[in-house]
């Protein structure tokens, strides 16, 4: 094969890969409204696959998957039986105390804000919002009545959600049973010319995603339990609810802590009307943030992901804007994979002639690398073993 033919083949491969990525991106964007159950099932299968692989050594793959699903079903049922009445009680307690919060805000906080910052007291019509919330809660009469009310008003929407909830475990079961086969088939479809690079990036992405997803879920649960128990010990009647909310949204840096502090401080001021309990609430979140930063994240997540807090916030907002709830669900996993890909391109850039060549010095590129396929006549292409010897000495 001549050099020009080789160059054309490499260029065609790049264009074909780019077109394929664009087509796949367009398909995902167009089908995003119906992809949520499949993505959720794939995430569950990905997280459960290491457990199934260990059980598979002692039993068949199908039996191992069935055992994992049985254990998950028992745990989820037990948690729901305990949490649903507890959450319902907490929400009812919160809505009962909400008028007291509003009264405190209007009689104490509003005059202080007006005097200090000149904020108008009519910015928010709180009474109307409280009345609407209380009316809806009374009409619902709990979770069961609320579900029936929504069915009568928007039956198709609720039926769609129910079908999605039923579809998730079904799809997850089949994906988990055939996970290794699917991975092998996808690997077989990769063009042989880029297979080593893709396999390397896939292994690194797998390490990052596994560390992130399993670790971050553990951190969220641990923080939710810690905040809930801590605020309950402080004496806040809605402390467990505030703690659960703060823990669930802690995957966005500082958002969980900030939300929990604001809600906890307001609840303490309204319930006790002193600064002692406010300081206790602040102490709970200070200890929680220290526990997250120095114990939970280093041990459960690790430092391999390397996502900056600003990058995390941007990924979540961008994913939600582009794909809705599906985008929020996939934002951080995609950002983690993007970090791996960017690290690879950074490594290739720092090893390329564009970065290493100084002015007046001929560029040295190793044969067989991606850079060698796009070099012009002024670039010296050498074999890997002679690359170091071929490089001209650096002028003083």
Domain membership of residue 97 (yes or no) is: yes
The verdict on 386 and 363 lying in the same domain is: yes
Q: Are residues 232 and 85 in the same domain?
A: no
Residue 131 has a pLDDT of: 59
pLDDT at 12: 65
For residues 172 and 65, membership in a common domain is answered with yes
Q: What was the pLDDT predicted at 284? A: 92
The domain total for the chain is: 3
- The pLDDT of residue 38 is 86
313 and 390 in one domain?
Answer: no
Long-range contacts of 169-174 (CB under 8 A, 24+ apart): 169/41, 169/69, 170/41, 171/37, 171/38, 171/41, 171/42, 172/40, 172/41, 172/42, 172/44, 172/45, 172/48, 173/65, 173/69
Cα dihedral 138/143/147/148 (nearest 10): -60
Do 142 and 183 sit in the same domain of this protein? yes
Residue 282's pLDDT is what?
Answer: 92
Alpha-carbon distance of 371 to 351, in angstroms, equals: 9
What is the domain range of residue 381?
353-396
Residue 13 located in a structural domain? no
- Whether 24 is in a domain gets the answer no
Task: Determine the straight-line distance between the first and last CA of the chain, rounded to whole angstroms.
Answer: 42
Same domain (yes/no): 246, 222: yes
Examine the fold and report which residue of 189, 221, 251 is the final residue of a domain before the chain moves on.
Answer: 189
pTM for the structure as a whole: 0.62
What is residue 187's predicted lDDT score, i.e. its pLDDT? 85
Residue 137, token pair as written in the block: 């809660």
My answer on whether 169 and 204 are in the same domain is no
Is there a single domain that holds both residue 346 and residue 361? no
Per-residue confidence (pLDDT) for residue 145, from 0 to 100: 44
Low-confidence ranges of the chain (pLDDT < 70): 1-14, 112-114, 117-158, 160, 301-307, 325-326, 357-396
- Whether 17 is in a domain gets the answer no
Are 143 and 46 in the same domain? Answer: yes
């Amino acid at each position: 094969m001549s050099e020009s033919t080789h160059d054309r083949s490499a260029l065609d491969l790049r264009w074909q890969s780019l077109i394929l990525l664009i087509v796949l991106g367009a398909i995902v964007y167009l089908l995003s409204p119906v992809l949520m159950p499949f993505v959720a099932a794939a995430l569950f299968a990905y997280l459960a696959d290491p457990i199934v692989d260990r059980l598979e050594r002692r039993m068949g793959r199908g039996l191992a998957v069935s055992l994992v699903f049985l254990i998950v079903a028992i745990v989820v049922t037990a948690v729901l039986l305990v949490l649903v009445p507890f959450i319902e009680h907490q929400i009812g307690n919160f809505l009962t105390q909400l008028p007291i919060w509003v009264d405190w805000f209007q009689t104490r906080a509003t005059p202080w804000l007006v005097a200090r910052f000149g904020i108008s007291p009519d910015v928010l019509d709180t009474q109307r919002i409280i009345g609407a919330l209380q009316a809806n809660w009374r009409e619902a009469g709990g979770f069961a009545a609320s579900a029936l009310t929504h069915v009568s008003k928007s039956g198709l929407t609720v039926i769609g959600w129910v079908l999605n909830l039923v579809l998730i475990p079904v799809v997850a079961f089949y994906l988990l049973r055939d996970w290794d086969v699917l991975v092998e088939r996808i690997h077989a479809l990769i063009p042989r010319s880029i297979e080593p690079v893709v396999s390397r990036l896939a292994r690194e992405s797998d390490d990052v995603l596994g560390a992130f997803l399993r670790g971050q879920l553990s951190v969220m649960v641990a923080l939710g339990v810690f905040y809930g128990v801590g605020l309950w010990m402080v004496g806040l009647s809605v402390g467990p609810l505030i703690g659960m909310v703060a823990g669930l949204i802690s995957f966005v840096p500082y958002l969980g802590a900030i939300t929990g502090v604001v809600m906890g401080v307001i609840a303490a001021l309204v319930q006790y009307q002193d600064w002692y309990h406010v300081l206790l609430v602040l102490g709970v979140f200070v200890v929680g943030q220290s526990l997250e930063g120095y114990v939970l994240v280093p041990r459960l997540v690790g430092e391999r992901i390397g996502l900056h807090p600003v990058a995390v916030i941007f990924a979540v907002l961008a994913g939600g804007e582009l794909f809705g709830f599906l985008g929020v669900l996939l934002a951080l996993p995609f950002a983690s994979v993007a970090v791996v890909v960017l690290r690879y391109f950074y490594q290739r850039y720092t090893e390329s002639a564009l970065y290493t060549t100084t002015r007046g010095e001929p560029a040295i590129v190793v044969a067989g690398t991606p850079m060698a396929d796009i070099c012009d006549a002024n670039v010296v292409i050498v074999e890997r073993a002679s690359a170091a010897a071929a490089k001209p000495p650096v002028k003083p």
